[in-house]
Amino acid sequence: METVFRGLAVYLVLLIVTRFSGRRSMAQVTPFDFVLLLIIAETTQQALLGDDFSVTNAFVLIVTLFTADILLSYVKQWSSSAALLIDGSPTVLVSRGRPDPEALRRSRVNIADILEAARQQHGLMRLDQIEFAVLEVGGNLSIIPRDGS
């Protein structure tokens, strides 16, 4: 039973840390982010397994983590406020060609990131060609071009 509680505790901590670390980290992985992910994975593995490296313990942890994930997905379906708390909401970074400095600061996205997404998605080169740039819940940047762009 300790394995189940340990798995749920680690899952909850990782969910909270990931949620508050921001969506940018999920969308654009830098070498620093990759190294951090590897270190977190190793630390998490040690926290989950402790001294018990048995196959049975690993199976219990796998089932526990998947069950927690499935239950959270149901909770998010039933409660929009829980979904908002767990996943957050989209953030408008550029509106009618004008960047929102506070939204950019909070999300740790810069203008270069937005322009890169605009080039990739629509071949746009300038901010004034962008109607809206939205940082989606999943960490992707959505670019909506202005009419005539």
pLDDT (mean) for 2-31: 76
Clarify whether residues 52 and 104 are in a common domain. no
Average pLDDT, the chain: 85
> What digits encode the pLDDT tens for the residues 104-143?
998 888 899 899 999 999 999 999 999 999 998 878 899 9
Full domain range(s) for residue 18: 2-87
Last residue in a domain, options 41, 65, 87: 87
148 pLDDT higher than 90: no
Measure Cα distances from 120 to 103, 116, 125 in Å. 22, 6, 10
Q: Is 14 in the same domain as 65? A: yes
pLDDT at 28 over 90: no
Verify that 65 and 95 share a domain, yes or no: no
| pLDDT surpassing 50 at residue 25 | no
pTM over cut 0.75: no
Let me know whether 105 and 47 are in one domain: no
Are 114 and 94 in contact by the 8 Å Cβ rule? The answer is: yes
Counting the structural domains of the chain, the total is 2
Q: What is the pLDDT of residue 22?
A: 66
